[in-house]
A and B are shown apart, each in its own frame.
Chain A
Amino acid sequence: MIAMLIRRIIQAAMVMLVVAFISFSLFQFVGDPINNMVGQEASQQDRAELRDRLGLNDPIPIQFFRFVGNAVQGEFGISYRMARPVSDVIAERLPATLELALVSGVLAISLGIGLGVYTALRRDGWLSHFIMSSSLIGVSLPTFLIGILLIYVFSVELQWLPSFGRGETVQVTENWSTGLLTLSGWKSLILPSITLGLFQLTLLMRLVRAEMLEVLRTDYIKFARARGIKQRSIHFRHALKNTLLPVITIAGLQLGSIIAFAIITETVFQWPGVGLLFINAIRFVDIPFMSAYLLLIALVFVIINLIVDLLYFAVDPRLRVTKRSASR
């Protein structure tokens, strides 16, 4: 168990190091950062001095280690565009993105599993057919179009829900302002989180359904039926856990992509999160911000992966016991 955990953490660290290198290379390939920092009229001398002071004349490996060292401490330099420390900007905007991702993630996972199980168990019901056909829309329509359609229907026509922003927020800590404590905050969350979660929801639902149907065809389910086990128990005790086992990985990855894909939704709804900032950062070639964002997303994926591995370990007795007998 401990050995497994250590191995996974080392792997995660390696992945982060690779991403850090890519992140770091951004600086090397996209123009001379000095140009972005000093005015047109700065002399050659000024430039050389600044270059020296920033350590840009050091060998690349040294620069890289300095970059990693800073990144570990949350130091990503000054945003070219906003002229403020990148870490401050991100800390300020991250809560909005995390709240949006959390709500869509919970929505996607709970409804995805619930509807997947329902459509598998009531395979021939009209409601299942209806859900399955409408799920095609969720898979095939691009996110921004769904967002725009929702805005058109619920904000423009019906005027029930706001079309942009987070609504009223409450400052919880110095850096954390939450929209989860106000009615208008929740109202503002509805459309963006549906937009962001719909694709993952439908994907997850179809996956759960297919997996559940597969499990219901297995010998151990047939044998359980042949022993007279009650239908309820067959479905929810014998089949469900086996169904969800392979779904864990996908669900984890999807949670990661929800955060990554928040960019589009945040743009459509003018949601003041890090994704929206990233779009602007690209336009201004704001390298420090971009590299920090890249590392952040990678970190999210790596952490989710780690959690997924641990979950498997907790849920699948086959993994757990092999490990135990191996260490005996």
Chain B
Amino acid sequence: MTEPLLSVRDLVVEFPKRKTRLTALDHVTFDIYPGEILGMVGESGAGKSLTGAAIIGLLEPPGHIAAGEIWLKEQRIDKLPYEQMRRLRGKRIAMIFQDPLTSLNPILTIADQLIETLQTHLPLSDKDARARAIQLLDEVGIPAASKRIDDYPHQFSGGMRQRVVIALALAGEPELIIADEPTTALDVSVQAQIIDVLKRMCHDYGTAVMLVTHDMGVIAEACDRVAVMYAGRIAEIGDVRQIVKDPQHPYTQGLMGSIPSLTERVDRLVQIPGSMPRLDAIPAGCAFNPRCTQQFDRCKQQRPDLIKTKKGQVACWLYDGESS
């Protein structure tokens, strides 16, 4: 098997809160392999965005990494000094945010933003950078790219802006893109197109993607593997077909059960009775136990770690002893 591109090991992210602290990410562990698309699902507040922010080193204080390690190939990146991390951002790991309407600077032209990003990471002359910028816009499907490049963001539609955002994220030809709900803010009619562009571009450039989404259709269509998060922990990771057709974790089963069919898109995943606990009220043992229909004594006392099974990895006591 190939070496992982990104390895997140027992990542803990905390927010100090008066005398105590909130543990927002609790021993999160997963890998992303070169060129793959890893889907990341889970209810709002599960910790998906924080995971992305921690990886790219943009956690907003007072949030901070309290324990764990993040490795990009052979390099440990969770403790890099600012300048080294800055040079890595956009060059090796890039990020796409949810809302294309607010992701672009309103007073700089697309050319300004794209050329600056290119020149930050690549030794390009002004002329070459501009040519490359036009080429990138062309590749993400902006019509008449050589004319539109001098326009301002507000002159583009939401879908077009998200294409520009994708071009910007890919400018440094990164090995990994973290796409945090890249289509949630968009019109339903263009969501599929944007996912297609993202998928195609990343395929062409060999870029791996961590794709955060609520959309099970997108997961089934675009992802190679899926990680399911619950209350700041990974509940299950596995191959996309296994997760969709044969989920192991009771929470994942609930998620999949709440989808009428894969062609029909659902935005919110909360059809399981009850709601995810707040960070200051996570129950002992398995965080899912109050909502779990299959819970038993052990679930309230001991916290399950990810257990490797034949099908994937799952954090649930039902699979203890099945480990392979």
Question: Which of B105, B109, B113, B116 has the largest count of A CB atoms less than 10 A from its CB?
Answer: B105
Residues 201-228 of A, flagged 1 when their CB comes within 8 A of B and 0 if not, give: 0000000000000000011111111111
User: How near does chain A come to B90, taking the closest CB pair, in angstroms?
Assistant: 3
Q: Are A242 and B107 in contact (CB under 8 A)?
A: yes
Complex CA–CA separation, A242 to B105 (angstroms):
9
Q: Are B86 and A223 in contact (CB under 8 A)?
A: no
Of the stretches B95-103, B209-217, B310-318, the one at the interface is B95-103
Complex CA–CA separation, A229 to B85 (angstroms):
11
Identify which of residues 229-255 in chain B touch chain A, using a CB-to-CB cut-off of 8 Å: none
Q: Are A219 and B97 in contact (CB under 8 A)?
A: yes
| Chain B residue total in the interface (Cβ 8 A) | 35
Complex CA–CA separation, A232 to B95 (angstroms):
20
Instruction: Tell me which of A219, A233, A241, A325 contacts B103 (CB under 8 A).
Output: A219
A-B contact count (CB 8 A): 83
The reply to whether the CB of A28 lies closer than 8 angstroms to some CB of chain B is no
User: How near does chain A come to B61, taking the closest CB pair, in angstroms?
Assistant: 10
Instruction: Tell me which of B99, B105, B109, B120 contacts A228 (CB under 8 A).
Output: B120
Identify which of residues 212-259 in chain A touch chain B, using a CB-to-CB cut-off of 8 Å: 218-231, 233, 237-238, 241-242, 245
Complex CA–CA separation, A237 to B95 (angstroms):
21
User: How near does chain A come to B83, taking the closest CB pair, in angstroms?
Assistant: 9
Q: Are B89 and A227 in contact (CB under 8 A)?
A: yes
| In the complex, chain B residues whose CB is within 8 Å of the CB of A224 | 105, 113
Identify which of residues 77-118 in chain B touch chain A, using a CB-to-CB cut-off of 8 Å: 82, 86-91, 94-95, 97, 99, 102-109, 113, 116-117
Identify which of residues 277-296 in chain B touch chain A, using a CB-to-CB cut-off of 8 Å: none
User: How near does chain B come to A173, taking the closest CB pair, in angstroms?
Assistant: 41
Instruction: Tell me which of A223, A230, A241, A325 contacts B104 (CB under 8 A).
Output: A223
Complex CA–CA separation, A233 to B120 (angstroms):
11
Complex CA–CA separation, A237 to B112 (angstroms):
10
Q: Are A223 and B116 in contact (CB under 8 A)?
A: no
Which chain A residue shows the least CB distance to B106? A318
The reply to whether the CB of B154 lies closer than 8 angstroms to some CB of chain A is yes
| In the complex, chain A residues whose CB is within 8 Å of the CB of B116 | 229, 233, 237
Q: Are A220 and B89 in contact (CB under 8 A)?
A: no
The reply to whether the CB of B193 lies closer than 8 angstroms to some CB of chain A is no
Of the stretches B37-45, B166-174, B200-208, the one at the interface is B166-174
The reply to whether the CB of B263 lies closer than 8 angstroms to some CB of chain A is no
Complex CA–CA separation, A225 to B103 (angstroms):
11
The reply to whether the CB of B271 lies closer than 8 angstroms to some CB of chain A is no
Identify which of residues 287-316 in chain A touch chain B, using a CB-to-CB cut-off of 8 Å: 315-316
Complex CA–CA separation, A231 to B121 (angstroms):
14
Which chain B residue shows the least CB distance to A316? B107
User: How near does chain B come to A259, taking the closest CB pair, in angstroms?
Assistant: 30
Q: A220-B104, A220-B105, A238-B105 are in contact. Are A226 and B95 (CB under 8 A)?
A: yes
The reply to whether the CB of B58 lies closer than 8 angstroms to some CB of chain A is yes
User: How near does chain A come to B196, taking the closest CB pair, in angstroms?
Assistant: 22
Complex CA–CA separation, A221 to B90 (angstroms):
14
| In the complex, chain B residues whose CB is within 8 Å of the CB of A219 | 97, 99, 102-103
The reply to whether the CB of A17 lies closer than 8 angstroms to some CB of chain B is no
Which chain B residue shows the least CB distance to A238? B105
Please name 12 further chain A to chain B contacts, defined as beta carbons within 8 Å, in addition to the given A225-B58, A225-B89, A228-B86, sorted by A numbering: A218-B102, A226-B94, A227-B89, A228-B121, A228-B172, A231-B82, A237-B108, A242-B107, A316-B107, A317-B106, A317-B152, A318-B154
Chain B positions near chain A (C-beta within 8 angstroms): 56, 58, 82, 86-91, 94-95, 97, 99, 102-109, 113, 116-117, 120-121, 151-152, 154-155, 165, 168-169, 171-172
Chain A positions near chain B (C-beta within 8 angstroms): 218-231, 233, 237-238, 241-242, 245, 315-318, 321, 325
Q: 5 smallest A-B Cβ distances: which pairs?
A: A228-B90, A227-B90, A228-B89, A226-B95, A219-B102
Q: List 20 A-B contacts (CB under 8 A).
A: A219-B103, A220-B103, A220-B104, A222-B97, A223-B104, A226-B89, A227-B120, A227-B168, A227-B171, A228-B86, A228-B88, A228-B172, A230-B86, A231-B86, A241-B107, A242-B107, A317-B107, A318-B106, A318-B154, A325-B155
